[in-house]
């Protein structure tokens, strides 16, 4: 799926508001020109009629133009309101397709690439790009309003003669070409600005990464080090602004020249028509400014779109392998575990416990020879076959922003409330959730902000309990728990395992007293190939 | 809650005011925008004069020339307003960036917030104030004066037309007040809606490992899709109302043109149902008509620049928070190599709910070098950080020469620090080494450089010690960067030396070359070496093993 396809599909589904916004844009554009042009004609004609005496004045048909002026004023306002509403309606709804499509594409990407987009600068860049594309989508009716301006201008100017119409048309064309030229010339300035910004980021990152050293040696100097890249950036921006400000001059000059040209070329007509021509020409050029803005920002929107395209077009193909049973046996570092067995992975931090767990879940590229499922090395198994085997409680206890229920149902959609409460109880969290005013439907805030570290961990544990996968994979379940809660949890885990007959792989740097039938694999004692490298990857 | 919000709002306003500052150029930018309006009056006069001249069969070229001159003057004013605004903003950002950087380096370490997010504050959030300083602020000032100028010009030729303009302004202002500031509502809603959506999207991407592991990505895509559509629909409901107030601005702008046109038309036709206090000629009628749209132009410009204000306020809040969270520590000077004693010290990063180091006790004698060893995560770096005020201690006592080192005081100024990734600043090699002791002579710097094993680097580069290193590191290898860090330590006369994994990620050969340099740097001072390397630990007089946190 490409970005163009996402937008095309969205545009098709949103065709009604899109067409309405376009139609109203046409009306806005033409009404703006007609309103002022007609007003100019009306006043001049009225003045001449008034000067010619009462008889002429009364015979002058003033009703029609004055009614038209009022009608145009109301039509322009109404149409502009409608245009804004419909263009936002269409743009926002088309934009609403972007994020889900991106999410799906990222989720299907090879794991390393997918996870690299899920944090830090890469993530904020994706968010910026989506916002840029969305803004461009909302503004798509600008070209229709410009078309309306040109139509209205052409209609009025044709009354003043071909020469005036063509003259103003030529100026409008020149303005568009000049804008395009200036924008194109500014592209290299934009690149210079982006480079300067990148250098500034590098400097800021370097200073912050060395904060301790900065503190020790020259804390007062630190601002000076940021100043040089800052100055380069400021200079680049000044040049860019200089180019941008030239557009203002060109636009104002085009407006003035077109009004003068239209006036000059229609002096042979009636004075009222000359007035009409001058004002219509000025409004025509003025009305083009939304289009000019779109022209100047098109480049930015395009490069944002191109970057999003690279994320949208990834995807990895895998083929399932036959011969994996539902109650699969597991082999970790050469130790065979039958379904329902329990094992404790111990070892120093950095000895590769979490790395091993993440390989089982295909959350990190596998290293051959570390683990087998039903005798097949996990390096040969696609993620779709590995992941359903495990119910995972991650070490970082991350939570979704949403309700408690949202968080639990991740593990098994459609699980009944009884199962959810049972899982919460086994994770020793049921009393906390019961105390919340909305129970399972309580909002837990961004990344579980409402909960303490220990509560988040237990929520994460409860989530793993909701899944009925044959193996429980618990990564440091006792971390941050006080001893009585830890004892309670282990007790309930024993009972749960007896009931569900699930196997257990538990990572813990400290012993798990009271957990029965537990064998142990000490990773500090095993020689794990490449473990250091992967632990840092 | 509301009082903190008020305090925050005040702090933000104050910061924005300081950012704009009392720079003369702000007045210049405002004056240029007002000049634009004055030129607009000239343009209208030229146009009206030309039309009137044609109708009276007189020479119209002079009037046309006036219109042309005024029209181009408008362009020049607008162009220079933008340029002045940009240069004003550039200086304001430089000042602010300096402040933000100073605040950033005195932040206590706090997990994920550290690093990336703070760098964003220094770079992007300061950048977000550009539009506010360059555009919004001058436009806001001009928007209160420019309409008055138009009004005066109109009133000079037609009082009734001026009254019509004022008459449409009054209900407009009422409508704006009733509906809240039109543009404010609109941009705030759009801003908030996008932020909400982005927040959800970012949240689901952050939780991607979890969703992948539970094969829940398909469901979450649906959730995201529903939420996105829902937010879009809800935003639209709000926008429909918010656009009404923008519509009011439009409506009264259009209405004023229409009313002025109809009034002026009927006035010159002498067909008004009442006796007007004035009789307009073609010139004045056309003049007021051409000026009518000008009356609302400044307000429309202000509305268009409103998102600058929105973006600036969001960014200002973050920078204010950064400055508020800064914990500059008072320096504790040291004359002699100190005795460092940790007695049951527990350290914890701000915002974390796990101790980085729990109840650690050890003591280092004056002039002794010790190696702190232990798995990653056992808190070696945190112990060093506590000595320079980067990590607050929660319990226990940290004493230097028997005197407690409280939170808020640090040894930072009396420490030579050797990091895993030493700071490389723009400047020459010598400048980089001189950081440790600004008053060092060139000979001392050269000695330190060669003692740190930088002779090969110096010899290989044109300019030697004066070779310029650019911001990206100028092709220095990891080992060479570390040698620069060590040269600094050798040059420094600080009596306490702290080394934070000085040989991590180096191969054995590179490490073996550095070890004698480190040994030399330790001589005559108290030294703490945090390391994984057994070879490096041999340099130390004693090894202290930190247990895994449990």
pLDDT in tens, B83-114: 999 999 999 999 899 888 888 887 776 543 44
Task: Decide if A325 is inside a domain.
Answer: no
Whether A534 and A503 have beta carbons less than 8 Å apart is answered as: no
| Nearest-angstrom CA–CA distance, A443 and A449 | 10
Find the helix or strand (DSSP H, E) in which B542 lies. Answer: strand B542-545
What is the span of the domain harbouring residue A416? Answer: 330-536
The tokens for B470 are 């650019």
What is the radius of gyration, based on Cα positions, of chain B? 34
Question: Is residue A322 packed enough to be buried (19+ CB in 10 Å), middle (13-18) or exposed (0-12)?
Answer: exposed
Question: CA distances (Å), A161 to each of A32, A39, A65, in order?
Answer: 20, 19, 20
State whether CATH 3.40.50.720 applies to domain B331-545.
Answer: no
Q: Which residues sit opposite B49 in a β-bridge?
A: none
Domain CATH number, residue A86 = 1.20.1560.10
What is the predicted pLDDT for the residue at A494? 94
Do A485 and A433 share a domain, yes or no? yes
Residue with tokens 């971390």: A479
- Judge whether B471 is closer than 8 Å to chain A, CB to CB: yes
Question: CA distances (Å), B190 to each of A471, B116, B178, B307, B310, in order?
Answer: 46, 26, 20, 10, 10
Task: Decide if A318 is inside a domain.
Answer: no
Q: Do B86 and A81 lie within an 8 Å CB cutoff?
A: no
Do A387 and A468 share a domain, yes or no? yes
Q: Do B214 and A231 lie within an 8 Å CB cutoff?
A: no
Lowest mean pLDDT: which of A117-126, B4-13, B184-193? B184-193
Domain CATH number, residue A462 = 3.40.50.300
Whether B547 and B389 have beta carbons less than 8 Å apart is answered as: no
Find the helix or strand (DSSP H, E) in which B500 lies. Answer: strand B496-500
State how far Cα B162 lies from the chain centre: 44
The tokens for B521 are 């740097």
State how far Cα B232 lies from the chain centre: 29
- Judge whether B101 is closer than 8 Å to chain A, CB to CB: yes
Task: Decide if A319 is inside a domain.
Answer: no
Task: Decide if A338 is inside a domain.
Answer: yes
Identify all chain B residues contacting A388, using CB atoms and an 8 Å cutoff: 215
Domain range summary for chain B, segments of one domain joined by +: 1-144+309-328, 159-279, 331-545
Do A221 and A346 share a domain, yes or no? no
pLDDT in tens, B376-393: 667 788 899 888 888 887
DSSP assignment of B360-426: EEEEE-TT-EEEEE--TTSSHHHHHHHHTTSS-EEEEEEEETTEE--TTEE-GGGEEEE-SS----S
Q: pLDDT of chain A along its 537 residues, tens only?
A: 688 898 999 999 999 999 999 999 999 999 989 988 998 899 889 888 888 887 777 777 888 888 998 899 889 889 989 999 999 999 989 988 888 998 988 888 888 888 877 766 677 778 888 888 988 998 888 899 999 999 999 999 999 889 999 999 999 999 999 999 999 888 889 889 888 888 888 888 888 878 888 888 877 777 788 888 899 999 999 898 888 899 999 999 999 999 999 999 998 888 899 999 999 999 999 999 889 988 888 888 888 899 899 888 866 566 677 767 666 789 998 899 998 999 999 876 567 788 899 999 999 888 888 899 988 899 888 888 899 999 999 987 778 888 899 999 999 998 999 999 999 999 989 988 998 888 899 887 665 666 777 788 889 999 999 999 999 999 988 876 778 888 898 999 999 999 999 999 999 877 888 898 899 998 877 655 444 333 333
Q: What number is the average pLDDT over the span B432-448? A: 91
Lowest mean pLDDT: which of A39-43, A198-202, B261-265, B368-372? A198-202
Give chain A's domain count. 2
Closest alpha carbon within chain B to A223: B98
Question: CA distances (Å), A308 to each of A133, A205, A255, B194, in order?
Answer: 9, 25, 38, 17
The tokens for A27 are 């009306």
Do A305 and A426 share a domain, yes or no? no
Nearest to A271 by CA among B288, B68, B294, B47: B47
Closest alpha carbon within chain A to B76: A249
**Residue A43: partners with Cβ closer than 8 Å, 6 or more residues away:** A275, B261, B264, B265, B268, B282, B285, B286, B289
Of B412, B494, B548, the CB nearest to A509: B548
Q: What number is the average pLDDT over the span B219-246? A: 81
Rounded to a whole number, what is the largest CA-CA distance in chain B? 108
DSSP, res A503: E
Task: Decide if A369 is inside a domain.
Answer: yes
Q: Do A215 and B105 lie within an 8 Å CB cutoff?
A: yes
What is the predicted pLDDT for the residue at A448? 64
| Nearest-angstrom CA–CA distance, A216 and B292 | 64
Whether A477 and A421 have beta carbons less than 8 Å apart is answered as: no
Whether B276 and B288 have beta carbons less than 8 Å apart is answered as: no
Residue A369 Ramachandran class (φ > 0 left, ψ -120 to 50 alpha, else beta): left
Of B76, B203, B293, the CB nearest to A401: B203
pLDDT in tens, B272-325: 888 888 898 999 999 998 898 899 888 888 877 877 887 888 888 888 888 888
Residue B474 Ramachandran class (φ > 0 left, ψ -120 to 50 alpha, else beta): left
Whether B68 and A260 have beta carbons less than 8 Å apart is answered as: yes
Do A270 and A403 share a domain, yes or no? no
Whether A463 and A408 have beta carbons less than 8 Å apart is answered as: yes
The tokens for A467 are 């899944």
| CB count in 10 Å sphere of residue A437 | 6
**Residue B142: partners with Cβ closer than 8 Å, 6 or more residues away:** B30, B33, B34, B37, B298
Do A170 and A270 share a domain, yes or no? yes
Q: Do B208 and A107 lie within an 8 Å CB cutoff?
A: yes
Nearest to B147 by CA among B33, B276, B22: B33
Whether this model's ipTM surpasses 0.95 comes out as no
Do A97 and A70 share a domain, yes or no? yes
Task: Decide if A11 is inside a domain.
Answer: yes
Do A412 and A273 share a domain, yes or no? no
Task: Decide if A324 is inside a domain.
Answer: no
| Nearest-angstrom CA–CA distance, A185 and A510 | 64
Of B50, B200, B239, the CB nearest to A85: B239
Question: CA distances (Å), B543 to each of A232, B381, B533, in order?
Answer: 48, 15, 11
What is the predicted pLDDT for the residue at A533? 37
Whether A274 and A41 have beta carbons less than 8 Å apart is answered as: no
| Nearest-angstrom CA–CA distance, B213 and B271 | 81
pLDDT in tens, B116-129: 667 777 888 898 89
Residue to substitute from A32, A37, A43, interface B, most B β-carbons within 10 A: A43
State how far Cα A6 lies from the chain centre: 14
| Nearest-angstrom CA–CA distance, B497 and B521 | 8
What is the predicted pLDDT for the residue at B116? 60
Q: Do A453 and B353 lie within an 8 Å CB cutoff?
A: yes
Reply yes or no on whether the pLDDT at B178 is more than 60.
yes
Final residue of a structural domain among A277, A312, A347: A312
What is the predicted pLDDT for the residue at A253? 95
Residue A264 has, within 13 A of its CA and on its CB side, a CA count of 16
| Nearest-angstrom CA–CA distance, B337 and B343 | 19
Do A308 and A369 share a domain, yes or no? no
| Nearest-angstrom CA–CA distance, A508 and A344 | 7
DSSP, res A443: B
A207 or B366, higher pLDDT: B366
Reply yes or no on whether the pLDDT at B395 is more than 90.
no
Closest alpha carbon within chain A to B117: A120
What is the predicted pLDDT for the residue at A535? 33
N-terminal to C-terminal alpha carbon distance within chain A:
30
Residue with tokens 């994984």: B532
Do A252 and A308 share a domain, yes or no? yes
Whether A243 and A185 have beta carbons less than 8 Å apart is answered as: yes
Identify all chain B residues contacting A280, using CB atoms and an 8 Å cutoff: none
The tokens for B327 are 């914990």
The tokens for B462 are 């044109």
Q: Record the pTM.
A: 0.78
Do A352 and A306 share a domain, yes or no? no
Do A130 and A102 share a domain, yes or no? yes
Identify all chain A residues contacting B123, using CB atoms and an 8 Å cutoff: 197, 200-201, 204
Q: Do B208 and A72 lie within an 8 Å CB cutoff?
A: no
- Judge whether B55 is closer than 8 Å to chain A, CB to CB: yes
Whether A203 and A225 have beta carbons less than 8 Å apart is answered as: yes
What is the predicted pLDDT for the residue at B133? 92
The tokens for B312 are 């600036």
| Nearest-angstrom CA–CA distance, A34 and A68 | 9
Closest alpha carbon within chain A to B268: A47
**Residue A537: partners with Cβ closer than 8 Å, 6 or more residues away:** A364, A365
Residue with tokens 């070209």: A143
Reply yes or no on whether the pLDDT at B415 is more than 80.
yes
Task: Decide if A509 is inside a domain.
Answer: yes
């Amino acid at each position: 799926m490409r970005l163009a396809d996402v937008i095309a599909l969205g545009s098709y589904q949103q065709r009604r508001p899109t067409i309405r916004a376009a139609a109203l844009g046409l009306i806005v554009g033409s009404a703006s020109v007609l309103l002022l042009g007609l007003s100019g004609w009306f006043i001049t004609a009225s003045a001449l009629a008034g000067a010619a005496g009462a008889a002429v004045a009364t015979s002058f048909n003033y009703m029609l133009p004055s009614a038209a002026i009022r009608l145009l004023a109301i039509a322009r306002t109404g149409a502009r309101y409608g245009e804004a509403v419909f263009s936002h309606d269409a743009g926002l709804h088309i934009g609403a397709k972007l994020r889900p499509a991106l999410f799906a594409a990222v989720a299907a990407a090879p794991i390393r690439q997918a996870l690299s987009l899920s944090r830090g600068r890469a993530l904020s860049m994706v968010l910026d790009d989506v916002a840029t594309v969305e803004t461009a989508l909302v503004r798509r009716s600008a070209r229709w309003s410009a078309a309306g301006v040109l139509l209205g201008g052409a209609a009025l100017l044709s009354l003043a003669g071909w020469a005036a119409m063509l003259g103003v048309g030529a100026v409008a064309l020149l303005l568009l070409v000049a804008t395009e030229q200036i924008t194109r010339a500014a592209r290299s300035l934009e690149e210079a600005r982006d480079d300067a910004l990148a250098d500034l980021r590098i400097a800021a990152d370097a200073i912050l990464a060395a904060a301790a050293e900065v503190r020790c040696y020259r804390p007062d100097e630190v601002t000076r080090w940021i100043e040089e890249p800052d100055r380069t950036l400021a200079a680049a921006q000044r040049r860019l602004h200089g180019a941008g400000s030239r557009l203002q001059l060109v636009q104002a000059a085009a407006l003035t020249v077109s009004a003068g040209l239209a006036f000059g070329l229609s002096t042979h007509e009636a004075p009222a028509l000359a007035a009409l021509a001058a004002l219509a020409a000025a409004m025509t050029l003025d009305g083009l400014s939304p289009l000019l803005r779109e022209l100047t920002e098109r480049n930015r929107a395009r490069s944002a779109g191109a970057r999003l395209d690279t994320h949208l077009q990834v995807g990895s193909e895998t083929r399932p392998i036959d011969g994996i049973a539902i109650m699969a046996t597991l082999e970790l570092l050469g130790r065979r575990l039958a379904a329902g067995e329990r094992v404790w992975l111990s070892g120093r931090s950095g000895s590769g416990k979490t790395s091993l767990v993440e390989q089982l879940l295909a959350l990190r590229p596998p290293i051959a020879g570390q683990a087998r499922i039903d005798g097949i090395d996990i390096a040969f198994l696609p993620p779709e076959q590995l992941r359903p085997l495990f119910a995972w409680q991650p070490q970082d206890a991350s939570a979704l922003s949403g309700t408690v229920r949202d968080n639990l149902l991740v593990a098994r959609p459609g699980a009944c409330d009884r199962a959810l409460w049972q899982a919460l109880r086994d994770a020793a969290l049921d009393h906390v959730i019961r105390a919340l005013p909305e129970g399972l439907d309580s909002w837990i805030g961004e990344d579980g902000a409402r909960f303490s570290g220990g509560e988040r961990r237990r929520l994460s544990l409860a989530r793993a309990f909701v899944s009925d996968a044959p193996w429980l994979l618990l990564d440091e379940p006792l971390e941050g728990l006080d001893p009585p809660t830890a004892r309670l949890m282990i007790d309930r885990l024993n009972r749960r395992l007896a009931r569900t007959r699930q196997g257990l792989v538990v990572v813990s740097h400290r012993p798990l007293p009271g957990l029965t039938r537990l064998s142990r694999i000490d990773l500090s004692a095993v020689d794990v190939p490449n473990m250091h490298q992967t632990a840092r990857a | 809650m509301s009082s903190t919000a008020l305090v925050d709002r005040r702090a933000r306003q104050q910061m924005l005011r300081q950012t704009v500052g009392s720079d003369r150029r702000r007045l210049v930018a405002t004056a240029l925008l007002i000049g634009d309006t004055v030129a607009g009056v000239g343009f209208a006069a030229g146009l009206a004069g030309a039309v009137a001249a044609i109708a009276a069969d007189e020479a119209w070229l002079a009037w046309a020339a006036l219109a042309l001159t005024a029209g181009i003057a408008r362009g020049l004013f607008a162009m220079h307003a933008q340029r002045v605004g940009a240069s004003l903003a550039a200086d304001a950002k430089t000042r602010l960036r300096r402040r933000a950087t100073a605040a950033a380096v005195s932040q206590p370490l706090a997990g994920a917030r550290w690093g990336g997010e703070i760098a964003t504050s220094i770079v992007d959030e300061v950048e977000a104030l550009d539009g506010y300083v360059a555009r919004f602020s001058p436009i806001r000032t001009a928007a209160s004066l420019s309409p008055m100028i138009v009004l005066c010009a109109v009133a000079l030729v037609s009082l009734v037309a001026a009254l019509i303009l004022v008459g449409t302004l009054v209900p407009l202002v009422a409508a704006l007040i009733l509906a809240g500031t039109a543009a404010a509502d609109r941009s705030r809603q759009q801003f908030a809606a996008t932020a909400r959506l982005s927040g959800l999207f970012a949240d689901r991407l952050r939780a991607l490992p979890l969703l992948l592991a539970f094969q829940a990505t398909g469901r979450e895509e649906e959730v995201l899709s529903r939420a996105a559509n829902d937010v879009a629909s809800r935003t639209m409901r709000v926008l429909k109302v918010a656009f009404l107030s923008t519509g009011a601005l439009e409506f009264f702008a259009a209405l004023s043109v229409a009313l002025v046109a109809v009034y002026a038309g009927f006035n010159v036709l002498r067909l008004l149902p009442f006796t007007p206090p004035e009789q307009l000629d073609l010139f004045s009628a056309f003049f007021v008509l051409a000026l009518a749209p000008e009356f609302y132009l400044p307000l429309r410009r202000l509305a268009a620049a409103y998102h600058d204000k929105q973006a600036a306020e969001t960014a200002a809040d973050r920078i204010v928070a950064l400055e508020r969270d800064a914990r500059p520590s008072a320096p504790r000077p040291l004359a002699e190599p100190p005795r460092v004693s940790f007695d049951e010290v527990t350290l914890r990063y701000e915002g974390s709910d796990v101790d980085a180091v729990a109840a650690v006790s050890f003591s280092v004698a004056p002039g002794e070098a010790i190696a702190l060893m232990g798995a990653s995560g056992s808190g070696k770096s945190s112990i060093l950080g506590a000595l320079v005020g980067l990590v607050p201690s929660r319990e226990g006592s940290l004493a230097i020469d028997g005197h407690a080192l409280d939170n808020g005081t640090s040894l930072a100024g009396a420490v030579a620090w050797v990091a895993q990734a030493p700071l490389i600043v723009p400047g020459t090699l010598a400048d980089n080494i001189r950081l440790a002791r600004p008053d060092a002579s060139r000979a001392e710097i050269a000695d330190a450089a060669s003692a740190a094993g930088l002779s090969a680097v110096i010899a290989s580069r044109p300019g030697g010690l004066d070779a310029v290193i650019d911001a990206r590191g100028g092709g220095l290898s990891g080992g060479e960067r570390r040698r620069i860090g060590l040269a600094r330590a050798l040059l420094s006369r600080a009596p306490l030396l702290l080394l934070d994994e000085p040989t991590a990620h180096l191969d054995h050969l590179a490490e073996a070359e550095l070890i004698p340099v480190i040994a030399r740097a330790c001589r005559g001072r108290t030294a703490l070496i945090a390391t994984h390397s057994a070879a490096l630990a041999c340099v130390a007089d004693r090894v202290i093993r930190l247990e895994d946190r449990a």
